[in-house]
Amino acid sequence: MNSGFSLARFGAMLRKESLQMRRDRGTVWLTVMLPLIQLFLFGFAINTNPRHLPTAIVSADHSIYERSLVSALANTKYFALRPYPDAKAADEALARGDVLFVLEIPPNFARSVDRGNRPDLLMDADGSDPTAIGNATAALLALNASALTRDLPPNLRAPAPAPPFGIVLHARYNPEQVTALNIVPGLMATILTISTLVMTSLAITREREAGTMENLLAMPVRPVEVMLGKIIPYVGLGYVQIALILAMAVGVFGVPVRGSVLLLLLAMGLYIACNLGMGFAISTMARTQMQAQQLAQFAFLPSMMLSGFLFPFAGMPLWARAIGELLPITHALRIARGILLKGNGWAEILPDLWPMALFAVIIGIIAVRMYRETLD
Amino acid identity, residue 354?
W
Digit-coded pLDDT (tens) for 167-183: 888 888 888 878 888 88
Handedness of CA 23, 24, 30, 32 (dihedral sign): negative
H/E element holding 374?
none
| pLDDT value for 332 | 93
CB-CB contact of 272 with 7 (8 Å): no
| pLDDT value for 155 | 62
pLDDT of 368 strictly over 50? yes
Phi and psi at 132, nearest 5°, equal -70, -30
User: In the predicted model, what is the mean pLDDT of the chain?
Assistant: 80
Amino acid identity, residue 307?
S
* Residues 90, 118: Cα–Cα separation, whole Å: 25
* Rounded average pLDDT over 342-361: 92
Phi and psi at 95, nearest 5°, equal -65, -40
Phi and psi at 178, nearest 5°, equal -80, 125
* Rounded average pLDDT over 218-224: 65
pLDDT of 67 strictly over 80? yes
Q: Which of 205, 288, 367 is nearest to 23 (CA)?
A: 288
Question: For residue 339, what is the DSSP state?
Answer: I
Handedness of CA 367, 369, 374, 376 (dihedral sign): negative
For residue 161, the SS3 value is coil
Greater confidence, 40 or 116?
116
Digit-coded pLDDT (tens) for 257-303: 999 999 999 999 999 989 888 888 887 777 777 777 777 877 787 88
* Residues in Cβ contact with 20 at an 8 Å cutoff, skipping those fewer than 6 apart: none
Output the CA–CA distances (angstroms, integers) from residue 131 to 96, 123, 135, in the order listed. Answer: 18, 17, 8
Q: Which of 154, 142, 153, 164 is nearest to 76 (CA)?
A: 142
**Greatest pairwise CA separation for the chain in angstroms:** 104
H/E element holding 121?
strand 120-126
| pLDDT value for 296 | 80
Q: Which of 45-59, 106-120, 128-142, 353-367 has the highest mean pLDDT?
A: 353-367
* Residues 376, 371: Cα–Cα separation, whole Å: 12
| pLDDT value for 375 | 45
> 26 pLDDT band (50/70/90 cuts)?
low
- CB-side exposure of 236: number of CA atoms within 13 Å? 4
Name residue 121's beta-bridge partners. 167
| pLDDT value for 179 | 82
pLDDT of 69 strictly over 70? yes
CB-CB contact of 157 with 233 (8 Å): no
pLDDT of 373 strictly over 60? no
| pLDDT value for 156 | 60
Residue ranges of the alpha helices (H) in 252-327?
261-285, 289-306, 318-326
* 53-172 has CATH 3.40.640.10 classification: no
* Rounded average pLDDT over 186-197: 84
pLDDT of 160 strictly over 80? no
Q: What is the dihedral of CA 193, 199, 204, 208, to 10 degrees?
A: 140
The reply to whether the predicted model has a pTM over 0.85 is no
> 76 pLDDT band (50/70/90 cuts)?
confident
The domain limits of the chain are 53-172, 180-370
pLDDT of 204 strictly over 70? no
CB-CB contact of 226 with 215 (8 Å): no
pLDDT of 10 strictly over 80? no
* Rounded average pLDDT over 315-319: 83
